[in-house]
Structure 1
């Protein structure tokens, strides 16, 4: 039996957007601590948002090349379930963060070519708990990540990883189903694709995204997993009433 399909909504900055994500059935909510991002939340705000989500969805703290002192302070204040490393962290740094925080770690990796997929295998050795495949930013970008653009999903054709892969980059309600069917990831991650403006989440888009992702995941799941997924969805709806 395979692991449950994961849906992560990232860049949340209000209790209302967290409620929208949880009510839609998201498994993970992401809080961005990176000052150059329009989705940045400071440590105190992130702690309040984490407390609002705690017990209802896994809390993911996104950082970019944070040093030990900053990581220690953020983890102590926010108490996330997962630390997402979205900078230039190498394999050794990912392993060190995992050991230091004693938390699950997701490592984001930019994908633009077959060589990038090959390089991603360096992280497929137990240093990370999740690999998040995002589009590479433009060369003149001031922020990491795909910045709302997808990469060529065909690059992942036949690429098997032992570490669960979350697909990201340019996903939204209208294309996430195709992305899931073509790449068969362990889960999906979205931020700008469910916004009405940079940093402003749209409840209807969140609901549509989660529904489309789950429908596609059910299509490609083995029969026993599809049945379990339907039961899990029913349980979530009962808890939300």
Structure 2
């Protein structure tokens, strides 16, 4: 299916101003920052506060959290002046609702999927969040809920008339993005490990290549 609008992109797991500015320059809509100690992409609150003055004005800032205390999320929102909070753990729908009310911030809920049946989880969250992110389920034994460079069968999303905004994530690269979009009919995509040279080490060349590819997909 041909797309009549440009694909919206999220570069996640950013840790440096250089790569955040590069992502914004090449048109990323969202800039993602991970606040999760076990991640190689983790930002501490101090690091976030130091990074904030050097971030681009363009791009919506997303903080990624995994079963985090609400006070910690609030501190991270303040430290980095976040526009969005992404919940990537075992959070409940009412938690998303509470955060939206408390912080006045947009919320993304990430869900691990591998079959069409898994997509139904989103129905519980959709009334309480601003977008759903469909990611691959973590491999057995993985310590991270995302950023594991694995994908799910993209075609399970095609033909689904989902009545809420959603993003496709999991194992994306510049090379497989056109096929992923063709199979899923995604309008928005999220990438982290696919633009890295090593876990937690972003590659400027890969960020540029991915964003150029996303712009070219029609």
Q: TM-score, normalised by structure 1?
A: 0.84
C-alpha change, 1:52 and 1:23, in structure 2 (3 Å) is same
Alpha-carbon shift at residue 181 of structure 1 (Å): 2.1
Aligned length in residues: 215
Tell me which of the two structures has the higher relative contact order, counting C-alpha pairs closer than 8 angstroms and 6 or more residues apart.
2
Structure 2: how far apart are the matches of 1:47 and 1:131?
A: 27
Partner of 2:58: 56
Residue among 1, 7, 10 paired with 1:8: 10
Partner of 1:83: 85
User: Where is the helix percentage greater, Structure 1 or Structure 2?
Assistant: 1
Alpha-carbon shift at residue 189 of structure 1 (Å): 0.5
Alpha-carbon shift at residue 64 of structure 1 (Å): 0.7
Residue among 68, 71, 84 paired with 1:69: 71
- Output one character per residue of 1:123-155: Cα deviation in whole Å (capped at 9) or x when no partner: 222x11111110000232211126110100111
Structure 1: how far apart are the matches of 2:108 and 2:179?
A: 24
Alpha-carbon shift at residue 47 of structure 1 (Å): 2.6
The answer to whether structure 1 residue 38 and structure 2 residue 77 are counterparts is no
Alpha-carbon shift at residue 17 of structure 1 (Å): 1.0
Structure 1 residue runs of 5 or longer lacking an equivalent are: 220-241
Conserved 8 A contact 1:133-1:167 = yes
Conserved 8 A contact 1:50-1:80 = no
Q: Please, what is the CA RMSD of the aligned residues?
A: 1.6
Structure 2: how far apart are the matches of 1:3 and 1:38?
A: 34
Partner of 1:145: 146
Tell me the SS of whatever aligns to 2:139: coil
Tell me the SS of whatever aligns to 1:124: helix
Rg: which structure is higher? 1
